Structure 1
Amino acid sequence: MTATLDHTAAPLIRRPAGRPLRQLVVPYLYVLPAALFVAAFLLYPMVLTAWRSLTHFDGISDPTFAGLDNFRDLFADPHFLLSLRNTVIWTVAAVIFPVTLGLVFALAFSRVRWGGFFKTVIYLPATISAAAAGILFSFVFNYDNGILNMILRGIGLSGLASRWLFDVPTNTFAMIATYTWQQTGLNMMLFLVGLQGLPPEPIEAAKIEGCTGWNLVRRIILPMLMPYVVITTLLAIVNGFKVFDLIWVMTQGGPGRASETLAVTMYREGFILFKQGYSAAIAVVISVVALAFSYFYLRSVLEQEARQ
């Protein structure tokens, strides 16, 4: 009987064999294409740009090491300082107008008749590219035969007709209006997702207590929606900070260089004036700021997921 017990207990204490090498390697093979893609098209360009920001390089001759000279020159360059100011204006406007309007439309059309139709109309501009939106509104703001000036002249307000894309700072405001038209729908959808995830009990309890209308929104809905407000705001800041295509299509940073942002200045310095080391320094500045806001954006997303 003892021998039988020993014989049956032996398999129970035997350790399982180690995993074959193939099973250890195969999961990494699935990840390898994505890792190579990231390394080739993200990490390598980032390292190369950081290195070139420390050199004088025209894209043709060999780069010469310059240390931090490019970064010192940036903050003594009036064009860079002007583009930095314009970028701040763009970033603030990208938060105030598209985010605010997106929130207003989400609250207004979330539970109304024909709400789906209005939400579709508002979201449609987000489905086209910024370059296409820029081309479209270049015709709208054209001085001679643009739709806006034609309407103003047709209703007897010819004095308000303006060279929208050639006068400073009117051209910046015109481009911000175009950007708002395109981005509002995307922000609205983000807020609609947040509204659908709100628990109904606090809202129903507040309505029973007589809290309705603006008081309901201000005291109950907005506090619960605040994580989505933070996420949408940080995302709008990142997108507004690096906007390029819409500006380039509508004004190319003109007249002169009066409406340039950092992204436009980076492109002009690198690919038109062939000062690629200087352009790389601007790219590093943009990347550092964008990464900082992206960090807070991702942290907000993870915190929101943790709450759920």
Structure 2
Amino acid sequence: MRRSAPILGRFRYGYVAPAALLVAGLLYAPFVWTAYLSLTRYDGLAPPEWAGLANFGKLFDDPALLTSLRNTLLWVVGTMVLPVGLGLLVAVLSHDIKGGAWYRVPFMLPYALSGAGLALVWSPILSHGGIANALLGVDTAFLQDAPVNTLAMLLVWTWQQLGVNTLLFVVGLQSIPKEPIEAARLDGASGWRLFRHITWPLMRPLTAVVVGLALVASLKTFDIVWVMTQGGPGRNSETLAVTMYKETFVASDYGYGSAVAVMLTVVTGLASYLYLKRQVAS
């Protein structure tokens, strides 16, 4: 006699349906609408007019977009080197030492500030003739000239993100079994050799998560850039996220702004896919 399916199994799709509908409504439906708008001419007032691929063709002829791509790439590379690299360094140096948690506290405090609040604090410091110029004894426009302005904002971003990356790496270090470390030390490994051949490989799963999160965050950088420079002077410090915002909500060109949004989504998704694929393959 055939046994009836358990009640939980019979209604399993019903249990996940509310969450699936919520995700579809909040994430997928807006993206589909944005993708549609990217194929139209739309100013937010009159009905959208079909434009085909005209907005995407405009992308490749827009010099401001090339600047945005360059700056976004700088943010990606800078994030991998500074917040992630320095976070790993601080975590390793403060791990397994007496009072190490207290050494990490100063690095954690800036993370409590929002990106916009952080930008408001640092804007007068880095402005021309500001505190940074006075302390360093220079006359440099940190927020005026490219790519110096992007590098200056990267340092501010590092100041905020360093703490959380350090904390994540500390969690990874604490999860490493002690037996391989002790065995390596008995064999004479220490310092850099111990870290390179034992500690680093054992931290690889967590490192993949930290780098993946930092990669996505750097591709979507907006608040710090918008508050500190609004993508200027001119458009020389724009990122893709800032370009998308300005074209959509400042210039009221919703069609072109949506095309930039679609491009940013594709770039973020492709970068994440290639990174994850590389992690799985290796």
1:113-158 Cα shifts (integer Å, max 9, x gaps): 22111222212222221111111111221333x3322323xxxx3x
Q: How many angstroms does 1:15 deviate by?
A: 6.0
**Match of residue 83, structure 2, among 95, 98, 106:** 98
Q: How many angstroms does 1:54 deviate by?
A: 1.1
What residue number does 2:267 align with? Answer: 289
Distance 1:242 1:121 in 2: 26
1:75-94 Cα shifts (integer Å, max 9, x gaps): 11101111111111111111
Contact 1:227 1:300 in 2 (8 A): no
Which residues of structure 2 form unaligned runs of 5+?
A: none
Residues 1:208 and 2:186 are matched in the alignment: yes
Distance 1:16 1:81 in 2: 63
Percent of aligned pairs sharing the same letter: 45
Which residues of structure 1 form unaligned runs of 5+?
A: 1-13, 304-308
Q: Which has the larger radius of gyration?
A: 1
What residue number does 2:140 align with? Answer: 162
- TM-score, normalised to structure 2, is 0.91
What residue number does 2:96 align with? Answer: 111
Distance 1:45 1:260 in 2: 24
- TM-score, normalised to structure 1, is 0.83
The verdict on how the C-alpha distance between 1:57 and 1:125 changes in structure 2, with shifts beyond 3 A counting, is same
Residues 1:41 and 2:41 are matched in the alignment: no
Residues 1:179 and 2:157 are matched in the alignment: yes
Contact 1:54 1:281 in 2 (8 A): yes
**Match of residue 166, structure 2, among 165, 188, 197:** 188
**Match of residue 78, structure 1, among 63, 75, 78:** 63
Q: How many angstroms does 1:293 deviate by?
A: 3.6
Distance 1:77 1:104 in 2: 40
Residues 1:69 and 2:54 are matched in the alignment: yes
**Match of residue 139, structure 1, among 95, 119, 124:** 124
Contact 1:53 1:70 in 2 (8 A): yes
Distance 1:113 1:138 in 2: 37
- What SS does the aligned partner of 1:164 have? coil
What residue number does 1:197 align with? Answer: 175
Q: How many angstroms does 1:279 deviate by?
A: 0.7
Aligned residues: 280
The verdict on how the C-alpha distance between 1:297 and 1:119 changes in structure 2, with shifts beyond 3 A counting, is farther
